[in-house]
């Protein structure tokens, strides 16, 4: 039995972010998982998996089971300008919390069926200083993505 992973969700998040021309056209530093390299230009996006517990249903006789993941991801914008960060965060929120966010994300996620996708919290961030002493802001949110996958159990 092949156990699914959250890798398709991570790739889907990046694909969905890259699909937005208004968002990508304003990013100078790109999209990064967890942390960005030193001297990354502002603004940029970072995302991180917060948690992703799986539940499994092994199915019954003659039925393959399925696995469901209830994942949380933090997605935030780092910028030198708070208005720019808020504007980019609003674009991200539209991408992942619209009426069709689950359908739109499902189109770019391979191997998992996205059931729900929406913002569940704002990230409590504030001004900080980067390695060069510049004042930066980080604005973002936590997104809940629920997806499932069929478990194909090989026969005898």
Tell me the per-residue pLDDT of 93-122, one tens digit each, with 9 for 90 and over.
999 999 999 999 999 999 999 999 999 999
Phi, psi of 12, deg, nearest 5: -65, -40
Asked if residue 2 is part of any domain, the answer here is no
**According to the model, what pLDDT value does residue 38 have?**
87
What does the pLDDT average to over 39-51?
96
Q: Binning pLDDT at 50, 70 and 90, where does residue 89 land?
A: very high
Mean pLDDT of the chain: 91
Structural domain count, the chain: 1
Q: Binning pLDDT at 50, 70 and 90, where does residue 154 land?
A: low
Asked if residue 156 is part of any domain, the answer here is no
pTM of the model: 0.90
Given a cut of 70, is residue 30 above it in pLDDT? yes
Given a cut of 90, is residue 153 above it in pLDDT? no
The 3-state secondary structure of the chain reads CCCCCCHHHHHHHHHHHHCCHHHHCCCCCCEEECCCCCCCCCCEEEEEEEECCEEEECCCCCCCEEEEEEEEEEEEEEECCHHHHHHHHHHHHHHHHCCCHHHHHHCCCCCCEEEEEEEEEECCCCCEECCCCCEEEEEEEEEEEEEEEEECCCCC
The CATH number of the domain holding residue 46 is: 3.30.70.1700
**According to the model, what pLDDT value does residue 127 have?**
72
Given a cut of 80, is residue 138 above it in pLDDT? yes
**According to the model, what pLDDT value does residue 21 have?**
97
What does the block give as tokens for 65?
Answer: 């089971």
106, 114 in Cβ contact below 8 A? Answer: yes
Given a cut of 60, is residue 1 above it in pLDDT? no
Phi, psi of 57, deg, nearest 5: -125, 110
Instruction: Give the closest residue to 36 by CA, choosing from 81, 76, 5, 87.
Output: 76
What does the pLDDT average to over 86-94?
97
Asked if residue 1 is part of any domain, the answer here is no
In terms of residue numbers, what domain contains 114? 7-151
Asked if residue 17 is part of any domain, the answer here is yes
């Amino acid at each position: 039995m092949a156990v699914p992973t959250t890798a398709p969700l991570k790739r889907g998040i990046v694909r969905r972010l890259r699909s937005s021309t208004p968002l990508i056209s304003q990013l100078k530093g790109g999209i990064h998982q967890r942390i960005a390299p030193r001297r990354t230009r502002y603004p940029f996006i970072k995302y991180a998996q917060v948690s992703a517990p799986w539940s499994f249903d092994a199915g019954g006789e003659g039925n393959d089971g399925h696995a469901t993941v209830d994942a949380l991801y933090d997605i935030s914008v780092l910028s030198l300008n708070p208005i720019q960060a808020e504007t980019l965060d609003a674009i991200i929120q539209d991408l992942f919390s619209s009426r069709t966010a689950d359908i739109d994300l499902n189109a770019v996620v391979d191997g998992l069926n996205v059931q729900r996708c929406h913002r569940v919290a704002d990230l409590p961030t504030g001004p900080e200083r980067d390695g060069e002493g510049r004042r930066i802001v980080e604005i973002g949110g936590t997104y809940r993505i629920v997806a499932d996958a069929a478990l194909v159990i090989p026969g005898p």
